[in-house]
Amino acid sequence: MKGKKVCPECDTFNGPRAFNCKKCGHAFKMRKPRKRKRKELIEDYTSLEKGDTIYVVGGSGTYYTSDNGEKQYLTDRGEYKVYSLKQDGILAYSNTGGYNYLYMGKTMKSKLLDNITKAPCRILKKNCVK
């Protein structure tokens, strides 16, 4: 039967993620989990140089908080090429052709609007991606 495990001891059908047979308790042989290579976030953005390619992680950067509490991020995730560094951020070109300011300072409420929060982008060096 598709999507089920059959116990070799008692021929009982069990769920696909079962560790033990529900009838006789026989332990199923499980695969070892794959180890994933941990991607290192860049902690000090001032170490970047003009021309470096970086990747902005989704769900980071400045965001808008709607009335129901949902966050809408204003910084697009993806690849960027560093143009220059500023006091609190990075000027960069996105691979879609836009020129962006990636905020890297401390998290704080915007002085212009109450529902905008300035938050730092999480970034990876391009050679760390995939």
Q: What rounded mean pLDDT belongs to the chain?
A: 88
- Report the alpha-carbon distance of residue 24 to residue 1 in Å, rounded: 19
Q: Are residues 49 and 98 in the same domain?
A: yes
Reported as a single tens digit per residue, the pLDDT across 40-57 is 888 899 999 999 999 998
Three-state secondary-structure class, residue 73? strand
Residue 10, amino acid: C
Of 92-96, 104-108, 109-113, 114-118, least confident by mean pLDDT is 92-96
Q: Are residues 97 and 71 in the same domain?
A: yes
6 — pLDDT class (breaks 50, 70, 90): very high
Other CB atoms within a 10 A radius of the CB of residue 100 amount to: 19
Reported as a single tens digit per residue, the pLDDT across 47-91 is 999 999 999 988 899 999 999 889 999 988 889 999 999 999 999
* Position 40 in a domain: no
Q: Are residues 28 and 89 in the same domain?
A: no
- Report the alpha-carbon distance of residue 23 to residue 39 in Å, rounded: 43
Range of the domain at 5: 1-34
Q: Which residue has the tokens 């070109």?
A: 93
Q: How many distinct structural domains can be found in the chain? A: 2
Residues 107 and 117 sit within 8 Å (Cβ to Cβ): yes
Three-state secondary-structure class, residue 85? strand
Please give the structure tokens belonging to residue 125: 């060096």
